[in-house]
Every structure is written in structure tokens, then in C-alpha cells.
Amino acid sequence: MAVTKIIRYTTKPEHANENERLIRGVFTELAEQNPAGLRYTAFRLDDGVSFVHIAVLDGDHNPLTASTAFAAFQSGITERCSQGPTPADATTLGSYQPPPA
């Protein structure tokens, strides 16, 4: 059964770009390693300092725990943030993706 995690937080303005750089590093590593059982999306909101991450795990194992880039991202997250991070579990009520054209 899939587990969905949503994490929301706000960075201090002077740390928002660094935070984005670290997140992009996580996605670069994920693209190289292609871990099974993970769907992961991160958003930077239009205020420029708020971020939302959504991780859908196909089971109890979280491939992000083995990621060097994710460890680098997590290192110092509390110092980069003015609010949060606030994690929450979520239940999927629906999902839509149009078929390929």
C-alpha cells in the first residue's frame, strides 16, 4: 500500500535559492540512481520562500534515506527555515494524468 508524505515549510529569504539548489541536487541524484518505489515532487511557491514536497512511497522503505544528496538537503534545513518543516501523512482521494498524445 502506498504511503504519501507531504512536507511544507518556509525558508528565510536569504536561504531560498540555496534550498532550491539542494533540492535540484536530490532530483539529479534520483535521475542517476532511479530508485524503485518512489514518486517524488517538490514545489517552490510563488512567494519565493515557501516549499512543498510530496513523496509517494510504494511500501515502508523510503529510498530517500539512502540518498547522499537528500542528506545534504536535510543538513541545516532548520537553520534555512523560518517556519517548519511540517510533515503530514496524506490519503490519496484521486489522481489524474491524461494519456500520452
At residue 1, the pLDDT reads: 74
Please choose, from the candidates 42, 16, 15, 45, the residue with its C-alpha nearest in 3D space to the C-alpha of residue 27: 42
Give the predicted TM-score (pTM) of the model: 0.90
Contact residues for 69 (Cβ-Cβ < 8 A; gap 6+): 22, 25, 26, 28, 29, 30
Whether the bond into 63 is cis, omega within 30 of 0: no
* The C-alpha cell that represents 92 in the structure block: 490519496
pLDDT of residue 84: 94
CB atoms within 10 A of CB 99: 4
CATH of domain 3-90: 3.30.70.100
Averaged pLDDT in 10-residue chunks for the chain of 101 residues: 92 98 97 93 98 92 92 95 95 85 78
Domain extent listing, the chain: 3-90
Of 37, 90, 96, nearest to 62 (Cα)?
Answer: 37
